[in-house]
Amino acid sequence: MKRSRLVFRHIGQLLLIMLLLPVLSPSWADEEVRIGVLSHRGDVVTRAMWGPTADYLSAIIPGHRFTIRPLKFDEVNPVVDAGEVDFVLVNPGIYVNLEVKYRVSRIATLYNRRNDVPYKIFGGVIFTRKDHPEINTLEDLRDHSFMAVYSTSLGGFQMAMREMLDSGIDPYRDLKSLEFGGIHDLVVMSVLQGKVDVGTVRTDILERMASAGTIDINDFHIINPRQEPEFPFALSTRLYPEWPFSKVAHTADTLAQQVAVALLQMPHDHTAALAGKYAGWTIPLDYQPVHDLFLELKLPPYQNLGKFTLSDAIDRYRYWLLGGLLVLLFMLFMTFWVMRLNQELHKAKNRLEQQHELILDSVADGIYGVDLRGRSTFFNRAAERITGWAADEVIGFNQHEILHHTHADGSPHRADECPVYQTFRDSQARYISDDVFWRKDGNSFPVEYSSTPIWDENGKTVGSVVVFRDTTRRKKAEEDSRQHQVELARVGRLSTLGEMASGIAHELNQPLTAISTNAQASIRLLESNSSNLDVCIDVMERIAGQADRAGEIIRQLRRFVRKEPLERAEVNINNLVNAVVVLIRPEIRRANVTLELDLDRDLPRISVQPIQIEQVILNLARNAIEALQENQQDERKLSIHTRRVGEQRIEVWVRDNGPGIKPEVADTLFDPFVTSKSQGMGLGLSISHGIIGAHGGKLVVNSAYQEGAEFTFYLPLLEAS
C-alpha cells in the first residue's frame, strides 16, 4: 500500500517535471546553491521572506540557482555538519557556534529594517512598570519576579543576563522567579499587567508596540538605561551585530565572493529586502561581542569554560568516567572476589585444621608433641585412651615424668637418658621397639615408639613428635606364637617317638631280657649250689647295670615327651648328641648303620633349650638312617660332628652316605608337609628349621657334599637378644 503510494508520488513528480521542463530548461543545468535559513516562524513564512533573496542571487550570479532551505533550530548543526547547505543565514548566537564548530565564515551582515531605518546592530532592554520605584538598578532585581522571551533568545534573555551577571545577579539563582514567555509581546504585556515585576525583550520591541498603540511606553521604566550614538531605541545592554550571511567551509571562495558582492550591492529598498523585512547588507561586522557574551555566560560554544557543572563534567569526561566506572566496578568485583577467596581460604584453613585434628584423633597410635623443655604440646585421643591421661592433664607438663619415669624393672628412668630428649640433642629420629609407658592408674604397658624431631622453617629443632603403640597384644601374640612353636615341636617329638616306638621297645627289651635272664640264672645257680654266690654277685652287678641302661632309655623318653619349661639351660651340645644316640641306637642297629661320632671336646657350653636341640639332632639322624636304607652296596655310615667355629658359633653336622638329596626336593626341604617318606608328616625338617631359627642359628643342607647328604646347623655362642 505504502509502496504503491510511493510509486504514485514518483510518477506524479515525474509528470510535474515533464510539464515544467520547457519552462525551466534554461536554468536546468545551473548549479544549485542552497542557503540554509533559520526558520523560527515556519517554513512557509521563511520561504516567503527569503525566497526573493535567493532569486535575487540567482539572477545576479550566472550559472547558479540559489534555493532556500528552511532550518529548524535543532536542524542547523547537523545540516551544516553534513554539508547539505552552502550558505547559512542564522542569528548571531548560532553563527558564533557554527563559526567555532564548523568554520563557517560570515560574508555579510544584515541591515535590519526598523521603521524603514536600517540597523545593523541590536541589543536588549530590561524594564519594569513605572510603579516599581524600588527597582532602579540591576542589583535591585534581586528577589523580584522576572520574565524573559526564552532561555536561548539572544536579545530576549542572554544579553540581559550578561548585564545582570556583571552586576552580580545570577538570574537563575538570585531572582524570586524566572519565567520565559516565549513571545516578546507577551513579556511586555506580562510586565504591564503586573504578572511579573521585571521583563526583558529585544530592543525596538517596546517602540514598535508603542507605535502600534498596544502600550504606552511611558508606563515602563527602563533598568540600566544606556545611550549609544545613532541608536534610538531604549537599551539596557551592550549592542551586538545583526544576523550574518555566512559561507559554509566547503563553499568555494569565488562563489562566496560573488554572493558577498551581490548582497552588498543590493539596494536597501530592493523587493528582496522588503520581502525579508531587511534593508540590505553591509560588510560583515565583528562578532566578537557575541563571542564575549557567550564566553561570559558560558554558553555554547563556551559552555565548558569556567562554569563546570556535573553535567559538563559528565559530558566532557564521559569516557574517562565510563572507564573510571569500569575500573571501579572491576575493583569492586575484585574486592568482592578477594573477600570470597579470603573466606574460602579461611574455610579451607578451618577444614584443614579440623582434618588435621580428625586425623590426629582417629589414628590408633598415641601421638604427642614435646617442646624443647620437655613439656607436652599436644596429646591425641588415642594417647588419652591408651594412657588414661586426659590431654589437659598432660599438655604443658613434663611428659617424661608422667609417662616415662620408670623402667620396666622398676628402676627410675633418668630424663637425660630419655630417647625423646636425646632426639632434641642430636636432631636424630629414634625408634624404640621395647620400652614401657605408665598409665594414669599406675600400671605400665609395653610400647614401641618413635621420636621424631620437629624443625622450624629455619631447620632448627623446636621439639619432637612421639608416636607410640601399645604392644601388649603384639607381645601376647608373639608369646602365643612362641608357645605354638614349642607345642608344635613337642607334637613333632611325640610323632617321632611314635615312629620310633617299636625300635625303642626293642631297645628296652634288651636290658629287661638281660636282667630277667640273669636273675633267673642266679636263682638256679644258688639253688643248685649256694657256693655260686660270688658268681651271683657279679651277675647282680650286671643286672643293676642293665637296669640303669633301661632307666636311661626311659629317662630320655620322658625327657623327650615332657612339656619342658621354656627356660634355656647352659649345656654342652655333645651331651645332647649322646642323649640322642640312646634313642636312635635301635634304629641304627636295625638298619645296620655304622655310627661315627666326631665330637669336639673343647666345646663351650651354650644356652639353648636342650630338648629342642636334641629333637633337631634326632630328626637329622633319623632322616639319615632312613636314607641309608636305600644304600645296598656300601657300608652304611652315619656321622655326627660337633665343632666350635671361632668365637662366634658352634656347628653340628649330620652326614650320611645315602643317595643324597634329590635336587627337585632341595628347595622345599624345609617346608612343612613336604616328605619323601611313606610314613611321617613331613614336619621334621620344618620344625627343626624353626627351632634353630628361634635359637638365632641356621639349619642348611650342604649341597656341595656329594657322597650323600649333609645337614649342618650352627648356633651362635652369643645370641643377640
Partner 1 sequence: MDQTTPTVFVVDDDEEVRNALKLLLESVGLPVICYASALDYLEKFDERLPGCLVVDIRMPGMSGLDMQEKLAENPIHPPVIIITGHGDVPMAVRAVQAGAVDFIEKPFRDQILLDSVHRAIEMDAERRGEASRQSEIHEHLSQLTPREREVLDLVIGGMRNKNISEKLGITLSTVEAHRSRVMEKMQADSLSHLMRMMLTLEQDYGKP
CB 559 within 8 Å of CB 594: no
Judged by CB under 8 A, the chain residues 510 through 549 that form the site for partner 1 are: 510-518, 520-522, 524-525, 528, 539, 542, 545-546, 549
Q: Tell which residue, 698, 628, 675, has the closest CA to residue 496.
A: 675
Part in contact with partner 1 (CB under 8 A); list of ranges 72-80, 393-401, 467-475, 498-506: 498-506
Minimum distance between the CB of residue 548 and partner 1, rounded to whole angstroms? 11
Minimum distance between the CB of residue 593 and partner 1, rounded to whole angstroms? 8
Part in contact with partner 1 (CB under 8 A); list of ranges 266-274, 423-431, 499-507, 552-560: 499-507
CB 61 within 8 Å of CB 49: no
Complex with partner 1: residue 428 or 509, whichever CB lies closer = 509
Complex with partner 1: residue 135 or 588, whichever CB lies closer = 588
Minimum distance between the CB of residue 524 and partner 1, rounded to whole angstroms? 4
Complex with partner 1: residue 201 or 593, whichever CB lies closer = 593
Other beta carbons within 10 angstroms of residue 17's beta carbon come to: 11
Peptide bond into 22 cis (omega under 30): no
Complex with partner 1: residue 31 or 634, whichever CB lies closer = 634
Tell me if 366 contacts partner 1 by CB under 8 A. Answer: no
* 115 φψ region: left (φ > 0), alpha (ψ -120 to 50), beta (else): left
Complex with partner 1: residue 128 or 518, whichever CB lies closer = 518
Peptide bond into 663 cis (omega under 30): no
Q: Grid coordinates in use for 254? A: 569565488
Complex with partner 1: residue 331 or 505, whichever CB lies closer = 505
Minimum distance between the CB of residue 504 and partner 1, rounded to whole angstroms? 10
CB 215 within 8 Å of CB 187: no
Tell me if 592 contacts partner 1 by CB under 8 A. Answer: yes
Minimum distance between the CB of residue 563 and partner 1, rounded to whole angstroms? 27
Minimum distance between the CB of residue 522 and partner 1, rounded to whole angstroms? 8
Complex with partner 1: residue 608 or 638, whichever CB lies closer = 638
Complex with partner 1: residue 280 or 503, whichever CB lies closer = 503
* 509 φψ region: left (φ > 0), alpha (ψ -120 to 50), beta (else): alpha
Choose, by CB under 8 A, the member of 117, 505, 544, 645 that binds partner 1: 505
If binding means CB under 8 A, how many residues of this protein chain bind partner 1?
Answer: 30
Q: How many Cα atoms occupy the beta-carbon half-sphere of 627 within 13 Å?
A: 24
- Write the single-letter amino acid at 262: A
* 369 φψ region: left (φ > 0), alpha (ψ -120 to 50), beta (else): beta
Q: Indicate the helix (H) or strand (E) that contains 32.
A: strand 31-38
Complex with partner 1: residue 254 or 528, whichever CB lies closer = 528
In whole angstroms, what is the distance from residue 257 CA to residue 280 CA?
17
Q: What angle do CA 172, 177, 179 make, to 5 degrees?
A: 85
Part in contact with partner 1 (CB under 8 A); list of ranges 4-12, 82-90, 362-370, 585-593: 585-593
Complex with partner 1: residue 501 or 566, whichever CB lies closer = 501
Complex with partner 1: residue 208 or 636, whichever CB lies closer = 636
CB 423 within 8 Å of CB 371: no
In whole angstroms, what is the distance from residue 644 CA to residue 714 CA?
9
Complex with partner 1: residue 47 or 590, whichever CB lies closer = 590
Complex with partner 1: residue 115 or 513, whichever CB lies closer = 513
CB 167 within 8 Å of CB 139: yes
Judged by CB under 8 A, the chain residues 546 through 575 that form the site for partner 1 are: 546, 549
Part in contact with partner 1 (CB under 8 A); list of ranges 126-134, 267-275, 500-508, 676-684: 500-508
**DSSP structure class, residue 154:** I
In order, the DSSP letters of 604-649 are: PPEEE-HHHHHHHHHHHHHHHHHHHTT--SSPEEEEEEEEEETTTE
Complex with partner 1: residue 177 or 502, whichever CB lies closer = 502
Part in contact with partner 1 (CB under 8 A); list of ranges 229-237, 506-514, 562-570, 646-654: 506-514
List Cβ neighbours of 282 (8 Å cut-off, separation of 6 or more): 108, 109, 111, 120, 264
Report helix, strand or coil for 528.
helix
Minimum distance between the CB of residue 665 and partner 1, rounded to whole angstroms? 29
Q: Grid coordinates in use for 191? A: 510586565
Q: Indicate the helix (H) or strand (E) that contains 651.
A: strand 649-656
Minimum distance between the CB of residue 608 and partner 1, rounded to whole angstroms? 32
Judged by CB under 8 A, the chain residues 223 through 242 that form the site for partner 1 are: none
Q: Grid coordinates in use for 381? A: 585421643
In whole angstroms, what is the distance from residue 286 CA to residue 1 CA?
55
Minimum distance between the CB of residue 577 and partner 1, rounded to whole angstroms? 21
Pairing of strands 569-571, 606-608: antiparallel
Q: Indicate the helix (H) or strand (E) that contains 593.
A: strand 593-598
**DSSP structure class, residue 388:** -
Complex with partner 1: residue 244 or 503, whichever CB lies closer = 503
Sort 445 into a burial class: Cβ within 10 Å, 0-12 / 13-18 / 19+.
Answer: middle
Pairing of strands 31-38, 244-247: unpaired
Part in contact with partner 1 (CB under 8 A); list of ranges 111-119, 330-338, 391-399, 509-517: 509-517
Choose, by CB under 8 A, the member of 440, 469, 590, 641 that binds partner 1: 590
Part in contact with partner 1 (CB under 8 A); list of ranges 14-22, 407-415, 589-597, 691-699: 589-597
Part in contact with partner 1 (CB under 8 A); list of ranges 262-270, 422-430, 438-446, 502-510: 502-510
In whole angstroms, what is the distance from residue 694 CA to residue 459 CA?
44
Minimum distance between the CB of residue 678 and partner 1, rounded to whole angstroms? 18
Minimum distance between the CB of residue 549 and partner 1, rounded to whole angstroms? 8
Complex with partner 1: residue 61 or 588, whichever CB lies closer = 588
Tell me if 142 contacts partner 1 by CB under 8 A. Answer: no
CA distances for 191 relative to 199, 208, 223, angstroms: 6, 16, 13
Minimum distance between the CB of residue 551 and partner 1, rounded to whole angstroms? 14
The residue to which cell 530592543 is assigned: 203
Minimum distance between the CB of residue 527 and partner 1, rounded to whole angstroms? 9
Minimum distance between the CB of residue 523 and partner 1, rounded to whole angstroms? 8
List Cβ neighbours of 694 (8 Å cut-off, separation of 6 or more): 482, 485, 612
Minimum distance between the CB of residue 562 and partner 1, rounded to whole angstroms? 24
Choose, by CB under 8 A, the member of 506, 559, 641, 643 that binds partner 1: 506
Which residues here bind partner 1, judged by CB under 8 A?
A: 502, 505-506, 509-518, 520-522, 524-525, 528, 539, 542, 545-546, 549, 588-593
